[in-house]
Amino acid sequence: MNIPEQKLRIYGYLALSAFFFIFFMLEMFFSPWNVQHLVPKAVVFTLLFTAAVWEPTRFVILWLRKRTPDLTRSWYRMRTAMLVLVPYGLTLTWVRVFIENYTLIWGTQINFLWYYFWTASTVLLFIMLQVAIYEAIYYFREWKSAMTEAEELKRLHVEMQFDALKVQVQPHFLFNTLNTLIGLMELDKARARKFTEELAYVYRYLLEANENVLISLEDELNFTRAFFFLLKNRYDEGLNLNVSGGEEIGRLKVPPLSLQMLLENAIKHNVITKASPLFITVKIDAQAGRVVVANNLQRKRGAVSTGKGLSHLKEKFRLLELPDMQIHETDQIFSVTIPVLRPLAYESINH
């Protein structure tokens, strides 16, 4: 329904001319007088009369639209247009009937009053129809534009929120890893070099992953292992990771940094010592489309949990319109279940 203005102007004018010719000139073919030879004159007269109806009506419509472009003012524009155009249409009709009847343009004379009301009702009908069509097209076009802009604003808003979330979940382990690296450089240079390589890989992944809305679960898992390597060098035997069910993960997708956030959350809120080791398990269920990250619960005394990490991750899933993240806690175990998707399943979501 997004019809260009110039096409609407031309096609509308031609259609109205055809209608007026049918309404006003059809009687010539049933007239008792031989007036068929006046058909060319009737065509010219009808085209001129149509222009006198169409163009002023169009001018009033566009003028009102320019003055009050708001979609909520549709009825105001239509009402004002009719207040202007109805008197104009009645006057124009009187001029037409006067010319036709009293100058005997067709060579016959008919009842003035009857012919005036019949012609006036037809003219006003087409004026109202033109106003309604113009307004309907304008309303649809502006509504579609508004919807497009709203979707674009929503997309930009989601991207901004998503970027803000990614910034907030990245820096937590930076200071600890740097301190660990300093210690390794003094004790074991070869191990420090390996640590530096893994640290470089982790941050390279962070930079690349931030460019994607979803990332391969396999890549995310490789990154998680590298991230765990950095943490293992700090906690040694106090920290353990077990990954299972990773046989069919090639085409599965997850939001980037999801597993890293869960590992970091477990390490942040639990005691990790050689005497009280922390065991983290990652169970991948490709058929059910989920990953469960669990750890034995041994909370740090006096630690205050703000819940920001998990809430940020949960918000990320919500912004991406993915299934909800599930959190389960008992006296011994804390687990988080996150959804994983195949590409076709993600593409089918209405974003």
Q: What is the pLDDT along the chain (351 residues), one digit of tens a residue?
A: 556 777 878 888 788 777 777 766 665 555 555 555 566 776 777 788 888 888 888 899 889 888 888 877 888 888 888 899 899 989 988 888 777 766 545 445 556 677 788 778 888 888 888 888 888 888 888 888 778 766 765 665 455 455 544 544 455 556 767 777 887 887 788 888 888 888 888 878 877 766 677 888 888 898 888 888 888 887 888 999 998 886 677 778 888 888 888 888 888 888 988 888 999 999 998 888 889 999 999 888 766 565 666 777 787 777 677 788 899 998 899 999 999 887 655 544 444
For residues 141 and 59, membership in a common domain is answered with: yes
Q: Which positions ≥6 away from 20 have C-beta within 8 Å? A: 46, 49, 50, 53, 122, 126
Q: Is residue 158 part of a domain?
A: no
Q: Is residue 159 part of a domain?
A: no
Q: Is the pTM of this model over 0.85?
A: no
- Smallest CA-to-CA distance from 228 within 281, 175, 155, 284 is with 281
Q: Is residue 246 part of a domain?
A: yes
For residues 131 and 185, membership in a common domain is answered with: no
For residues 100 and 232, membership in a common domain is answered with: no
Question: CA distances (Å), 234 to each of 175, 182, 196, 239, 301, in order?
Answer: 12, 11, 14, 9, 21
Positive or negative, the CA dihedral 262, 268, 270, 271 is: positive
Q: Is residue 165 part of a domain?
A: no
Whether residue 316 contacts residue 324, with contact meaning beta carbons closer than 8 Å, is answered with no
The Cα 254–Cα 271 span in angstroms is 28
Picking from 115, 147, 179, the residue at the C-terminal end of a domain is 147
The Cα 337–Cα 341 span in angstroms is 13
For residues 139 and 56, membership in a common domain is answered with: yes
Burial class of 341 by CB neighbour count within 10 A (0 to 12, 13 to 18, 19+): buried
For residues 76 and 211, membership in a common domain is answered with: no
The Cα 11–Cα 50 span in angstroms is 12
The Cα 151–Cα 75 span in angstroms is 27
Q: Is residue 32 part of a domain?
A: yes
Strand intervals (E) in 245-332: 253-254, 278-285, 290-296, 326-329
The Cα 90–Cα 334 span in angstroms is 81
Backbone phi, then psi, for 295, in 5-degree steps?
A: -150, 155
Number of Cβ atoms within 10 Å of the Cβ of 41: 13
First to last CA, the chain: 24
For residues 187 and 82, membership in a common domain is answered with: no
- Smallest CA-to-CA distance from 267 within 244, 292, 234 is with 234
For residues 298 and 331, membership in a common domain is answered with: yes
The Cα 281–Cα 335 span in angstroms is 9
Q: Is residue 154 part of a domain?
A: no
Distance of CA 232 to the CA centre of its chain: 43
What is the SS3 assignment for 244? Answer: strand
Q: Is residue 163 part of a domain?
A: no
196: domain CATH number is 3.30.565.10
For residues 189 and 77, membership in a common domain is answered with: no
The Cα 1–Cα 163 span in angstroms is 37
For residues 244 and 291, membership in a common domain is answered with: yes
Which residue shows structure tokens 């001319």? Answer: 17
Residue 198: give the domain boundaries: 170-347
For residues 58 and 17, membership in a common domain is answered with: yes
Into how many domains does the chain fold? 2
The Cα 183–Cα 201 span in angstroms is 20
Q: pLDDT tens-digit profile of 303-349? A: 656 566 677 778 777 767 778 889 999 889 999 999 988 765 554 44
Each as own residue / partner, the long-range contacts of residues 114-122 (CB below 8 Å, 24 or more positions apart, any chain) are 119/24, 119/93, 120/89, 120/90, 120/93, 120/94, 122/20, 122/23, 122/24
For residues 187 and 317, membership in a common domain is answered with: yes
Picking from 116, 147, 178, the residue at the C-terminal end of a domain is 147
Q: Is residue 161 part of a domain?
A: no
The Cα 130–Cα 275 span in angstroms is 85
For residues 211 and 93, membership in a common domain is answered with: no
Question: CA distances (Å), 235 to each of 120, 267, 277, 299, in order?
Answer: 93, 10, 9, 16
